[in-house]
């Protein structure tokens, strides 16, 4: 069993420096342009693919790091570079995690490589769970999947929303209702292969932040997929549904929640990266900005803010690393440690970027400095993959054992 440690080994340090170099040299110079364009930054993804950063091999190596720190370390450095560009690079990972969490070995080997493509023809993937009337309340999901036994096909109908890479993805992973009477326990995940008729992109959203990342609706109209596209297989699904109908407490979990629970510490690491970038910008500014004959960092009002910012960032990173290590070593989240890490890191990113804008004063409010963009990017981290309120609900239920509403 891998012991928890705060020191990265030499290999991890080398990877961190490699990613940091890409973030500093490729991402940061392009960040403002793609934020303004609000388009998928294919050239940046291509550059990441050329060096092996956008690839199945790289993420597999980090995912299977026995310390659990490979993924959060990579996420922090990429999002230190720029959140919008980074999300375009790592957005495919959520769909990949969906397959890893729910799929068979054959499905993992078949579909995850197609999500990334190759250096000469990069692809992206999308995980589709949220709906116009079902965000935090997954039990309100309406997208249906009906089994056509005669053809061994599933027929999907519905509309998904807030899907990263939705509509432009090579592979879509869609969570749908297979048994409405079971609520959230009656959901399953499906692979929608490339070029499947009936899947189309709906509205593309113009967002407050992370604007280089494509976010859109995905419309499913009589989408037919082979039975082999049901993640985990029909036998496993039928067993799980039977247990749920009998009132059993252990049903194998909800398909969407299994994906989100696995990814929450990684999302927390993204928020840490944004917060760290804003803090470093504010620190450099405070050291060089002279007012009343001295650098503004000489004033307690500014210095104490920076002290608090750094303390919050380090605390958030420690929560993320703990949850990541626990997940890698298969220790149960008995106190909802995954949700704790995402909650605290998201709130930290939002607070720290706001403080950075305040330290920069009027300059912080302009697009001449990056903290304005960082502040916009950070706002989503108290919303997506479980709002802060939902994280608190998960934590409170876990601690109390009560059904808190």
Helix (H, G, I), strand (E, B) or coil at 132: coil
**Which 3 state secondary structure label does DSSP give 124?**
coil
Q: Give the whole-angstrom CA distance, residue 192 versus residue 231.
A: 11
Cβ atoms of 387 and 265 within 8 Å: the answer is no
Q: Are the beta carbons of 34 and 44 closer than 8 angstroms?
A: yes
User: Residue 287 and residue 397: Cα distance in Å, rounded?
Assistant: 45
* Measured distance CA(374)–CA(272) in Å, rounded: 12
Alpha carbon distances (Å) from 256 to 94, 217, 295, 306, 353 = 11, 17, 50, 38, 30
Compute the distance between CA of residue 137 and CA of residue 142 in angstroms, rounded to an integer: 11
Pick the catalytic residue: 47, 280, 385, 389? 385
Rounded distance between C-alpha atoms, residue 367 and residue 93, angstroms: 30
* Straight-line distance from the first to the last Cα atom of the chain, in angstroms, rounded to the nearest whole number: 37
Tokens 């990949």 belong to 96
What lies within 8 Å, CB to CB, of 108 at 6+ separation is 99, 100
Neighbouring CB atoms inside 10 A of 14's CB total: 11
What are the start-end ranges of the H helices in 226-330? 234-245, 255-288, 300-328
CA angle at residue 273 from 356 to 214, to 5 degrees? 100
**How many angstroms separate the Cα of 368 from the Cα of each of 106, 372, 373?**
49, 9, 10
Asked whether 112 and 58 are in contact (CB, 8 A), the reply is no
Is 385 part of the annotated catalytic residue set?
yes
Closest residue by Cα to residue 340 from 395, 269, 384, 266:
395
How far is it, in rounded angstroms, from Cα 93 to Cα 115? 9
CA distances from 171 to 36, 107, 194, 229, 400 (A): 27, 12, 6, 11, 40
Instruction: Tell me which residues are annotated as active site.
Output: 385
């Amino acid at each position: 069993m891998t012991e928890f440690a705060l020191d990265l080994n030499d290999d991890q340090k080398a990877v961190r420096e490699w990613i940091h170099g890409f973030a500093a040299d490729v991402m940061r110079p392009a960040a403002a342009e793609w934020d303004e364009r609000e388009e998928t930054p294919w050239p940046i993804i291509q550059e990441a693919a050329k060096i092996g950063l956008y690839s199945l091999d790289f993420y597999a190596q980090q995912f299977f790091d026995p310390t659990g720190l490979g993924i959060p370390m990579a996420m922090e450095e990429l999002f230190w570079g720029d959140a919008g560009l980074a999300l375009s690079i790592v957005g495919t990972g959520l769909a990949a995690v969906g397959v890893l969490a729910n799929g068979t070995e054959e499905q993992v080997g078949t579909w995850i490589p197609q999500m990334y493509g190759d250096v000469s023809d990069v692809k992206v993937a999308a995980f589709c769970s949220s709906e116009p009337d079902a965000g935090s309340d997954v039990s309100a999901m309406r997208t249906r999947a009906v089994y056509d036994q005669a053809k061994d096909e599933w027929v999907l109908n519905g509309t998904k929303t807030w899907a990263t890479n939705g509509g432009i993805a090579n592979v879509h992973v869609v969570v749908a209702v297979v048994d409405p009477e079971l609520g959230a326990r009656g959901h399953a995940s499906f692979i929608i292969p490339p070029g499947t008729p009936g899947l189309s992109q709906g509205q593309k959203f113009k967002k407050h932040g992370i604007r280089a990342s494509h976010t859109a609706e995905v419309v499913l109209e009589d989408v037919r997929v082979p039975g082999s596209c049901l993640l985990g297989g029909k036998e496993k699904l039928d067993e799980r549904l039977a247990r749920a109908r009998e009132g059993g407490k252990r049903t194998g979990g909800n398909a969407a929640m299994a994906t989100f629970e696995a990814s929450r510490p990684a999302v927390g690491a993204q928020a840490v990266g944004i917060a760290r970038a804003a803090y470093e910008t504010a620190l450099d500014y405070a050291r060089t900005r002279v007012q009343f004959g001295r650098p503004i960092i000489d004033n307690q009002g500014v210095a104490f803010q920076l002290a608090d910012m750094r303390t919050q960032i380090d605390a958030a990173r420690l929560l993320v690393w703990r949850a990541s290590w626990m997940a890698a070593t298969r220790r149960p989240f008995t106190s909802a440690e995954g949700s704790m890490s995402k909650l605290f890191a998201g709130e930290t990113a939002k607070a720290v970027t706001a403080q950075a804008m305040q330290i920069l004063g009027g300059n912080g409010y302009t697009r001449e400095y990056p903290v304005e963009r960082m502040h916009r990017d950070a706002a989503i981290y108290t919303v997506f993959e479980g709002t802060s309120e939902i994280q608190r609900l998960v934590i409170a239920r876990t601690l109390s054992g009560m059904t808190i509403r």
